[in-house]
């Protein structure tokens, strides 16, 4: 019997400090609630934070959020109250969920998203006097709705300072334009460097056309000129032939002059036809020499690296044009 009493006494002695500690933690929350009823929210917040540090209870976390809401610290209140409501199995949260969710809706009407873009990579972003990160930011920053001071600064640049209005429950974007300090040479951004390289890259130029041999132009012009002269001579002879034919119609066949005119007309016709043929051939040959020479077909050598290259090489020889081909 003594053993049973001894075990009970020891159990009570060991449990007594634990009960006292739990009572003290509960007292911290109750004291904090009492301070809030007196309008002393800042002091209450300190007690709630002490209680949460000791217990990590959703009740203490919810009280922290409500005190922060009263103090106007809506960004912290939103995060803390959302975390508390996530503890759906807690008895206090289940019992007071409607009230807490209503408070969370009110808090979210007092905060908004602020996105800072532009600037330079690595530039420090300061919102309302608090550093929130460096550019580019991973996500918009939650801030209290209303007027927000924005500052972006980076070495070698003038500070960007602006004030923007953030709408509660909405999103606002501000573009930071950083201006280099006078006399400061700023390395270009990566995308600017790529663009400069693309601009500096010389444009692709087509390979220079083949240069015709030195004899092509004078030979082609000479042949074409001779052809034009031949055509002109043929035209003149044909005029003479027509003139003699008209004279033949007005004279007698027994008249020696008439017979001479007939013979001259026949000779002029034969000479005109011959002149047309020769002149046309010369003009065509001159044109061909000019066209082939300017396009590189004349005087081009077979490629040393391509056994199957096709090339034609022509050169004047005496009264003819001699051509050699490689196929």
Instruction: Answer yes or no: is 208 within a domain.
Output: no
- The better pLDDT of the pair 90, 273 is held by 90
Q: Tell me if 276 sits within 8 A of 230, measured CB to CB.
A: yes
Are residues 234 and 161 both part of a single domain? no
Q: Is the pTM of this model over 0.75?
A: no
Pair (255, 240) in one structural domain:
yes
Residue 118 pLDDT > 60 = yes
Q: So what's the pLDDT on residue 109?
A: 96
Q: What is the Cα–Cα distance from 165 to 173, expressed in whole angstroms?
A: 10
| Tens-digit pLDDT profile for residues 257-299 | 676 766 776 776 787 688 778 867 877 876 776 677 666 665 5
Q: Please tell me the predicted confidence (pLDDT) of residue 269.
A: 76
Dihedral class, residue 183 (left if φ above 0, else alpha if ψ from -120 to 50, else beta)? left
Residue 100: inside a domain, yes or no?
yes
DSSP string, 230-267: HHHHHHHHHHHHHHHHHHHHTS-TT-HHHHHHHHHHHH
Q: Is residue 54 part of a domain?
A: yes
Q: Quote the pLDDT of residue 14.
A: 45
Residue 55 tokens read as: 């217990």
**What would the mean pLDDT of 94-104 be, rounded to a whole number?**
96
For the residues 68-97, what does the mean pLDDT come to?
96
Q: Are residues 167 and 222 in the same domain?
A: no
Are 102 and 125 in a shared domain? no
Predicted confidence band at 320 (pLDDT cuts at 50, 70, 90)?
A: low
Q: Please say which residue of 58, 80, 108 terminates a domain.
A: 108
Mapping DSSP to helix (H, G, I), strand (E, B) and coil, where does residue 150 land?
strand
Q: Shortest CA distance to 74 belongs to which of 33, 40, 38, 105?
A: 105
Give me the domain span that covers residue 128.
111-183
Mean pLDDT (whole number) for 38-50? 95
Q: How far is CA 120 from CA 88, 155, 156, 159, in A?
A: 44, 10, 11, 12
Higher-confidence position of 240 and 41: 41
Q: Are residues 43 and 55 located together in one domain of the fold?
A: yes
* Domain total in the chain: 3
The answer on 224 and 295 residing in a single domain is yes
Residue 30 lies in a domain: yes
Residues 96 and 116 in one domain: no
User: Does residue 202 fall inside a structural domain?
Assistant: no
Helix (H) or strand (E) holding 190: helix 190-200
Query: By mean pLDDT, which of 102-106, 134-138, 273-277 is the weakest?
Result: 273-277
Please provide residue 130's backbone torsions phi and psi, each rounded to the nearest 5 degrees: -115, 125
Judge whether 207 lies within some domain.
no
- Among 108, 123, 141, residue at a domain's last position: 108
Listed in sequence order, the residues at least 6 apart from 8 whose beta carbon sits closer than 8 Å to its beta carbon are none
Residue 144, domain CATH? 2.60.40.1120
Percentage of the chain surpassing pLDDT 70? 63
Residue 87 and residue 46 share a domain: yes
One DSSP character per residue, 294-320 reads: HTT-SSPPPPSS-TT--EEEEEEETTE
Q: Which of 86, 108, 130 is where one domain is finished?
A: 108
What value, to the nearest 5°, has the Cα angle with vertex 38 and ends 50 and 78?
Answer: 55
Residue at 190 is within a domain: no
Structural domain contains residue 35: yes
């Amino acid at each position: 019997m003594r053993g049973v009493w001894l075990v009970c006494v020891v159990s009570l002695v060991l449990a007594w400090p634990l009960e006292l500690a739990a009572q003290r933690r509960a007292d911290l929350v109750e004291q904090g609630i009492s301070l809030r009823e007196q309008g002393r929210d800042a002091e209450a917040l300190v007690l709630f934070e002490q209680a949460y540090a000791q217990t990590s209870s959703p009740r203490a976390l919810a009280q922290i959020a409500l005190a922060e809401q009263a103090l106007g610290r809506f960004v912290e209140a939103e995060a803390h109250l959302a975390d508390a409501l996530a503890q759906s199995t807690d008895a206090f949260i289940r019992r007071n969920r409607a009230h807490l969710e209503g408070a969370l809706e009110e808090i979210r009407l007092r905060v908004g998203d602020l996105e800072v873009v532009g600037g330079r990579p690595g530039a420090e972003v300061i919102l309302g006097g608090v550093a929130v990160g460096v550019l580019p930011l991973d996500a918009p920053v939650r801030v209290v709705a209303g007027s927000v001071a924005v500052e972006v600064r980076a070495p070698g640049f003038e500070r960007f300072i602006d004030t923007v209005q953030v709408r509660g429950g909405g999103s606002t974007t501000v573009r930071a334009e950083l201006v280099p300090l006078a006399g400061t040479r700023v390395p270009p951004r990566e995308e600017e460097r790529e663009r400069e390289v693309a601009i500096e890259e010389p444009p692709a130029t087509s390979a220079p056309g083949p240069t015709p041999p030195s004899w092509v132009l004078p030979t082609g012009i000479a042949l074409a000129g001779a052809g034009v002269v031949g055509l002109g001579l043929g035209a003149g002879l044909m005029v003479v032939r027509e003139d003699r034919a008209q004279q033949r119609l007005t004279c007698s066949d027994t008249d020696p002059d008439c017979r001479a005119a007939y013979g001259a007309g026949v000779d002029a016709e034969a000479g005109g036809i011959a002149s047309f043929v020769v002149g046309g051939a010369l003009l065509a040959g001159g044109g061909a020499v000019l066209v082939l020479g300017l396009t590189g077909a004349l005087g081009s050598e077979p490629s040393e690296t391509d056994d199957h290259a096709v090339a034609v090489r022509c050169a004047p020889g005496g009264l003819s044009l001699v051509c050699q081909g490689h196929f």
